[in-house]
Amino acid sequence: MLYSLIANAYEKIEATTKRLEMTDYLVELIKNTPKHIIDKVVYLTIGELYPPFEGVELGIAEKLAIHAISSVTGKTEKAILDDYQNTGDLGTTVEKFITKKTQATFFRQPLTVEGVYDTFAKIARSTGGGAQETKIRLLSSLLNDASPKEAKYIIRMITGRLRIGIADMTVLDALAVAYGGGKKFREEIERAYNLTSDLGYVAKTVAEEGLGAVEHFKIAVGKPIRPMLAERLSSSQEILAKMGGKGVAEYKYDGLRLQAHISPKSIQLYSRRIENLTDQFPDVVRALREAIVAKEAIVEGEAVGVDPDTGEMLPFQMVSHRRGRKYEIESTAKEIPITLFLFDALYVNGKDYTMEQYPERRRELQKIVKPTDHVKIAEQIITSDPSKLDEYMDQAIADGCEGLMVKDLGPESFYTAGARQFKWIKYKREYKSEMADAVDLVVVGAFAGRGRRAGSYGALLMAAYDHESDMFKTVCKLGSGFTDEDLANMPKMFAQYKIPHVHARIDSKIKADVWFVPTVVLEVIGAELTLSPSHTTGWNAIKKGAGLAIRFPRFTGNWRKDRAPEDATTVDEIIKMYNRQLKKIEVEPKIA
Ligand code: AMP
């Protein structure tokens, strides 16, 4: 197949402003393509060489492209760069500079799609010493054989700027028309795509085996499934009503969604946008190897950064800090260890579970996971009571989560790959209360440390002072911000305040491992104040059945030796801080 066919089609597609026309040109291109290379044509048209989850990047630096253009056209690199700065598109520049005269006409051969594709693939895969020269040589050979128009698209493709505006859904439409006879077949083709995330593979299957093949499309280990998505509602009544009165409320962990494909040979991790993240999370791979007892499985979960010393969950930023890294992967994994909270099982030992109801998938998940510190199963309750849901929401937030994910458990509760429906509803807060100021809190108890902190304390139980009742009311567990020296000294330092039972002036719903006479005051700063069913500061003041807690608290380093426990920040002050700083949360702040 001649590459000029592709270049002509791209030009027409680019020129039209109507989506229908765009699809028509794409249909024409697909119909003109021999079936055995339809996958290649589809990948090229969306600016790729392989399905995105294979993680092979074609893009070469513009500098190299300019070098190749210069060697083929005889123009100086400066002249090319000057023109490029004017046009803003290296494709337009090369189209202008390439003429028959500039090329070595004697050796020119018409470009074929297969030839262009294979050369692109060689460019993408050449790495290591001498790779740059190889890439330039390969690109130059393509440009030498290209017409000006072909050169334009080759350069755009190679620099990662094809941008003819064909999205995956347009390709699905075009495939439905070209091979199925109409857009009404799009749904079936889309399903196949949702189960494999591989447009080229779907196109080739439909082209060679007909639409019937798509009906029996199966999920497979190693081909990421497009993730099921959630709708959003903002009241517990509404959410439960949508679920037919009853739902599973699960912690909505604030991290990075991972889909793990496990086989005896390998474990692959894919992001929500189907990128392959395996190399960035070797610790997660090892943890899954230990925790999953099935031979083959596809499971989904949320990867959350966890404080190695206290076991407390860290804010989202910490896990996103680990993503996209090329260097120091293992050392960052030690600094920010991850716990994967699994929430779904889509495939186990040869059986596809996507068409099973959610309770069945969860049962299967529980069967194949042996929970460890680094792989756990998502916390959940089943409820039909909106106030229970609200209470659970407060608890989730105080535990470092973003809110709840409420899930349907009825007969229709399949895993709907790639679709956003009301079978999953996210329930996040509308408001949050940021903490601008540090507070002084009293140490009332402690929790045994683990890991590096074994033998010392992992976290302290902190309280505010309630003037009215003359009691200390708990407001957070504090584990961050201490130096190694502080940590080592803590048991000795607090030994004099240790008592065998909770002190009569401490009001706590949490059971500490060690109790103290309220004496020592520390300065603490946190990310925000939040409602909590576990802490007693401000109990019932803002909401019935909830107190206030500090989320992600941190010791500032300031031991308030000058303060008596009664000089600590009061419960009233904390309630005021909560009210004063209440602010609406932006909707959908992150893409993960
Ligand atoms: P959002 O990103 O706000 O649209 O919320 C959906 C995301 O929440 C999912 O893609 C997951 O990454 C994440 N998530 C956290 N916990 C859960 C859970 N228990 N079930 C499903 N998704 C979860």
Tokens linked to 143: 């440009």
- Mind listing the pLDDT tens digit for each residue in 361-397? 999 999 999 999 999 999 999 999 999 999 999 999 9
| Res 449: pLDDT | 87
Cα–ligand 1 centroid distance for 217 (angstroms): 26
Residue 592 Cα: closest atom of ligand 1: 2
Tokens linked to 573: 């002050």
State the amino acid at position 566 in one-letter form. E
- Mind listing the pLDDT tens digit for each residue in 306-362? 887 777 888 887 888 888 778 888 888 888 899 999 999 999 999 999 999 999 999
Cα–ligand 1 centroid distance for 239 (angstroms): 16
Catalogue the active-site residues: 252
Cα–ligand 1 centroid distance for 51 (angstroms): 24
Question: Is the pLDDT score of 589 beyond 60?
Answer: no
Mutate to test the pocket of ligand 1, among 251, 253, 381 (most ligand atoms within 8 A of CB): 253
Contacts by 273-279, CB closer than 8 A, 24 or more apart: 274/51, 274/52, 274/53, 274/197, 274/224, 274/226, 275/52, 275/53, 275/55, 276/53, 276/54, 276/55, 277/323, 279/329
d(CA 143, CA 73): 9
| Res 592: pLDDT | 47
d(CA 366, CA 480): 32
Counting every residue written for the chain, the total comes to: 592
Regarding beta strands 506-507 and 528-532, do their DSSP bridges make them parallel or antiparallel, or are they unpaired?
Answer: unpaired
Residues with CB under 6 A from ligand 1: 230, 250-253, 257, 272, 302, 343, 378, 405, 426, 592
Q: How confident is the model at residue 296 (pLDDT cuts 50, 70, 90)?
A: very high
Regarding beta strands 521-525 and 554-559, do their DSSP bridges make them parallel or antiparallel, or are they unpaired?
Answer: antiparallel
Mutate to test the pocket of ligand 1, among 426, 430, 588 (most ligand atoms within 8 A of CB): 426
d(CA 381, CA 560): 41
